[in-house]
Amino acid sequence: REVFRERREVAIAELKKIPGIKLSEPKGAFYLFVKAIEDDAGAFSERAKKFDLLLVPSDSFGYKGFVRIAYCVTTEQVERALPAFKALAEATLNK
């Protein structure tokens, strides 16, 4: 459990540093809900693919306008995804 807690904490801390990113902090899950930076979470998820990020629109999970990202991957994968998430946010805010 400790490794998942560590991944969650790293992801939350780094995502909070990215302008435009807002998120829900779960206490015991393997994923985070991040507010899509545009009105359409599906379109935001599609845009994320250009940055090699796989996001799931979370409207059907009860979080309308959010996307779900998992951290049940390696710590290296979490760390590698964070700069891509920053680039996605910048591209979306500057479109």
CA distances from 85 to 1, 2, 19, 28, 80 (A): 25, 24, 11, 23, 9
Per the DSSP assignment, residues forming a β-bridge with 67 are 34, 57
Quick check: 66 pLDDT over 90?
A: yes
Question: Do 44 and 93 meet the contact criterion of CB atoms below 8 Å apart?
Answer: no
Q: What is the pLDDT of residue 30?
A: 85
Q: What is the pTM of this model?
A: 0.85
Backbone phi, psi, residue 29, to 5°: -110, 180
Task: Convert the pLDDT of each residue in 71-95 to its tens digit.
Answer: 888 889 999 999 999 999 999 998 7
Long-range own/partner contacts, residues 14-17 (CB < 8 A, 24 or more apart): 14/82, 15/82, 15/85
Q: What is the pLDDT of residue 95?
A: 76
Q: What is the pLDDT of residue 4?
A: 87
